Each structure stands twice: as structure tokens, then as C-alpha cells.
Structure 1
Amino acid sequence: MEAVGENPYESRADISEASTKEVSVYGTNNDVADFFDEVDEIKKIVRRYDQNIDTIESLHKQALSEISGEQETYTREQIGSLANETSALSQSLKDRIKSLQSRSTRDSTKKTQAENLKRQFMNAIQRYQTVEATFRQKYREQAERQFRIVRPEATDAEVKAAIEDVQGEQIFSQALRTSNRRGEAQTALSEVQTRHREIQKIEQTMAELAQLFHDMELLVAEQEAPVQHVEKHTEQVQVDVEQGMGHTSKAVVFARAARKKKWWCLLICLIIIILAVCIPVGIWASNNNKKD
């Protein structure tokens, strides 16, 4: 006996085909779910990246106002540790966004999500660059003030040499020997040396950020190239189809014209045949009538 609700006419092949379709649908859904899970994870990392920038900015402000040497040293260590962590995050973000873009070239919704994440990350990079540039200038200004404690009459070129140039420490040491306030001068030297190191670290970070931003721009170009190739290929296919349709239309027109010509030729042939038959018959009938 057949089970209640069972279709006795449903073949095993139909059941197998339905099962295959179901697996295919679930596979597609899983791919979409994995994609958007990755989007959520990248968003979390971008938020953490932004939070690190906020913390680095706060620590820079704190370092500029520290009085105790121990506190300042601890703050600088925090800045260095957080900068290293942020650098690692940036590399992870670059790789994951690149992977995400490669998975979204044929889906407009996915492509929009990937582009939004890329734009958010590049905005964060630019904000980090702005923060570092701002505090590089502030560290420089503070170092200049410290140097002028020892050399109030120093020219701008001498101040710049003391803060940036390779021979800066030597210039500062010479200033120490000629200064009447050696205690203040020694403190100033320590401050300038510290700020010099901070400026160097900031400049290194800014160089890395510039390279990172450049890499993201190249990443966009790399992803656009295959898309443009696909679009160009699609446009060419469309042109070929339109040309093919044009040729087909012309062929139809030519075929119709040929058929019309054929019918006209057939009609002319019939008229000629009719005339060829009717004229002799008419002449023969006319001759007989004359004899009668």
C-alpha cells in the first residue's frame, strides 16, 4: 500500500534532482553568509583601528605635557606598542579587504560592501596621517623652545640642525659648553634628544601610512582591471549580438524581396504562356471565320 501523502508517480530521479537543487541553494546561501560575516569582522577591525588612532592621539598629548621622566618614558612605550599593534591591524585589513573585493566582482551588492569598507579604511589611514603630522609639528616646536633655552640667539638654521640633522647633537653639545646655565641646558638637551627620537618615529610611521594608502589605491586599480575587462567583453558581445540581429534583419528583407521577385517572375511566365496559347488560337479562329 502507498503511504498517505506519497506521490506514487514521483521517480527516484526527480527526488535526486530536488535534493541536488536544495544543496545548491544552501551552498549559495552559505557563501553569502560567509561573505557578510567577513564584512562584519572587517568592520570590527576598522573600528578598533580608529580607536587605536584616538588613543595614540591622546598619548601624544600626554607625552607633550609630562613632567616626570618616568611617566614620559612609560607614555612613549605605550605609544610605540600601540603603533606596532595598529601597523599589524593595517596589514590585516589590507589583505582581508583585497580578498573581499576579489569575491565581489560579479555581485553589485557585495561590491558595494567591499567598496564601503575600503573607503572607511582609507579614511582612517588619512586621519592617522593627520594626527601624526600634527604631533610631529608640536614635538618640533617644543624641541625648538628647549634649544633656545640654551641658545636664545640661535638662528633658524642652527635650530633645525640641532633637531633634525645628523650633526644636531654635536651642535647642541657645543651650545652646552658655552652656556652659563648648564643645569637647564642639560635638561634641554635631554628634551631635544627625546623629541628628536619621537619625530623620527612619527616620520617612519607616516612613511608607512603613505605606502599603505598607495597600496590601497593600487589595490582598487587591480580590482577594477578585471571588472573593466569583463565589462568590455560584455559590451563587445552586445555589439556582436546587435550586429548579428542587423544581419538577420537584412537577410529577412532580402529573402522577402527574393520571394516577391520569384512570384513576379512566375506571374510573367504564366502571362507569356497564356499569350502564347491564346494568340495562335485567336488567329486560327479568325481564319476559319473568314473561310465560312
Structure 2
Amino acid sequence: MDIGAFLNETAAIDQNVTTIHANIAKIQKLQSNILVATSTNVVENTSHERDNLMNETRQLLIESKDRIRRIESENSRLPRSDPNYDLRTQRHGFLREKLSKILNEYREAENEYIRKQTERTVRQYKIVYPNATQQEIDNYISSPSGQPVFQSALLRTSESHEVLSQVQKRHNDIKRVEETVAELATLFKELYLQVEAQDKTVVEIEQNAVQTTNKLEKATDELDKARESAAAARKKKWICLLIALIILAIIVAIVIYEVLKLKNNNK
């Protein structure tokens, strides 16, 4: 990915994260309306709108997380000497930090909603069953429709079916939001686990590169020494050959001189 495409990609991710942040604010507003609503129709309509927005936000979160990881993967393959290396790593760090903060904010907001929704459910239970123990309350929170004491109390009232229906819907709503909180924690973990794994890979690559460079330098030094030794050996060889030729020439000259001298004496 060239630098132009990279900047376009990071701008698109940044816009997605900004949209996620705006969606979370809307989700919080809708959940506040759910908590104070007294009409079943209002609760159902608001919950439906909230659920659609949560699904949209979930898709944006997953998409943004994957795109940020993809950028990290591409950055890890760049040499540090690349002229755009610092820019790429800075943009990645900015987006990762921005998304991680939003994940935490979203998780905290949903935990707060779960707490308030649970408190409402407990208050309703205590109205019907004021002498309930903490264990009975905990059992009721985990499975409100399965508590025979509560159901028998409801059957003595004219609004029993309506109340039980509201309790079950509130319980399902809490479970739905709890699943979202768990998924947010997983997304956060994946975002940083990927980074740690890639950092380890980058370190290993750099270490291997350093080791390879050292080996190449050592091999180059040894090759230079071998060349110098070979050159010196060749020089010595030529010197020895020259000396041998000189000696041979002297011997030949002496032999010729003696032969000529002998011929002259015979005359």
C-alpha cells in the first residue's frame, strides 16, 4: 500500500471510530430512556432501536479492529529506513489508542446500564417479596421466571402477567448487554494480543537481520584476508620464478662462456 492509499485508509478508519463514538452516545441515551420508561410499548420500541444501533456499532468495531491490525501487519514488514516508517507507525498508534479508549468507554457504559437495570429488578422483587434473603434475590436475578415464590405472589395480583412479562424482558435485556460487554473485552484483547505477537515477530526479524549482517561482515573480512593471502602467494610465486630464471640465465651464461673458452684454448 503506497503512502497515498495508506493515508486514505487511516482517514476512513478514523471516521469509522468517530461514528462508533457517536453511536455509543446514542445507545446510552436510548438506554436511559428505557430505564425511566413506564410504557411497555415505549420500552419495546426504544429497545428495538437500541438493538439495531448496537448491531451496527458491533460491525463497525470489528471492521475497525481488523483494519487497524492489517495496518500493523503491513508496517511490520517495512524497513526502518523507509521514509514513511515514522508516519505509518504514528498513525497506527493513534488509531489503536483511539479505538481502545472507545472500547473501554463503551464497556463501562454498558456495565453501568446493567447495574441500574439490575437495581430496578431487585426493587421490583422486594416490593412483591420484602423479606427476601440475599440468596433468594441472587437466584431471582439469575432466573426471574423460574422463581416459584415470586410467581405465586404475582398470581395473587391483577397485573401478574404484565409484571412477569416485564421482568422476563428486563432479564433478557441484561443478558443481551452482558454479551456485548464480553465481546467488547474480547475485541480489546484481540487488538493488543495481535500487537504483542507482531512486536515479537518484528524483534525476531530485526535480530535475525543483525545476525545476518554480522555474518556477512565477518565473511567479507575473511574473504578480503583470503584475497590478500592469495595475492601475496601469487607475488611470492612470481618472485621465486624470476629468481629461478635469473639463476638459470646465469648458469647458461657460465656454461656458454666455458664452452667458448674451451674452444679458444683448443685452437
Shorter-chain TM-score: what band?
0.7 to 0.9
Q: C-alpha distance in 1, partners of 2:183/2:120?
A: 24
The TM-score normalised by the length of structure 1 is 0.68
Check whether the contact 1:60–1:79 (CA below 8 A) recurs between aligned residues. yes
The TM-score normalised by the length of structure 2 is 0.74
Q: C-alpha distance in 2, partners of 1:95/1:135?
A: 28
Q: Aligned pair 1:35/2:6, yes or no?
A: yes
Letter in 2 for 1:217: Y
Tell me: CA distance 1:244–1:108, structure 2 relative to 1, closer, same or farther (3 Å).
farther
**Residue-by-residue CA offset, 1:93-135 (whole Å, 9 max, x unaligned):** 1221122222222223212211221121121111111111111
Tell me by how many angstroms 1:38 deviates. Answer: 0.5
Query: 1:199 is matched with which residue?
Result: 174
Tell me by how many angstroms 1:169 deviates. Answer: 4.5
Secondary structure of 1:103's partner?
Answer: helix
Query: 1:128 is matched with which residue?
Result: 106
Unaligned runs of 5+ in 2: 79-84, 233-267
**Residue-by-residue CA offset, 1:161-192 (whole Å, 9 max, x unaligned):** 12213763544212324x5xx14655543432
1:217 paired residue among 173, 186, 192: 192
Tell me the percent identity.
29
Q: CA RMSD in A?
A: 2.7
Matches within 5 A, 1:93-242: 93-105=64-76, 106=78, 107-165=85-143, 168-177=146-155, 182-183=157-158, 188-240=163-215
Higher relative contact order (CA 8 A, sep 6+): 2
**Residue-by-residue CA offset, 1:75-108 (whole Å, 9 max, x unaligned):** 1111111111111111211221122222222223
Letter in 1 for 2:2: D
Check whether the contact 1:150–1:188 (CA below 8 A) recurs between aligned residues. no
Q: Aligned pair 1:88/2:59, yes or no?
A: yes
Q: C-alpha distance in 2, partners of 1:213/1:201?
A: 19
Check whether the contact 2:144–2:168 (CA below 8 A) recurs between aligned residues. no
Q: C-alpha distance in 2, partners of 1:240/1:228?
A: 18
**Residue-by-residue CA offset, 1:170-217 (whole Å, 9 max, x unaligned):** 44212324x5xx146555434322221111101111121122112212
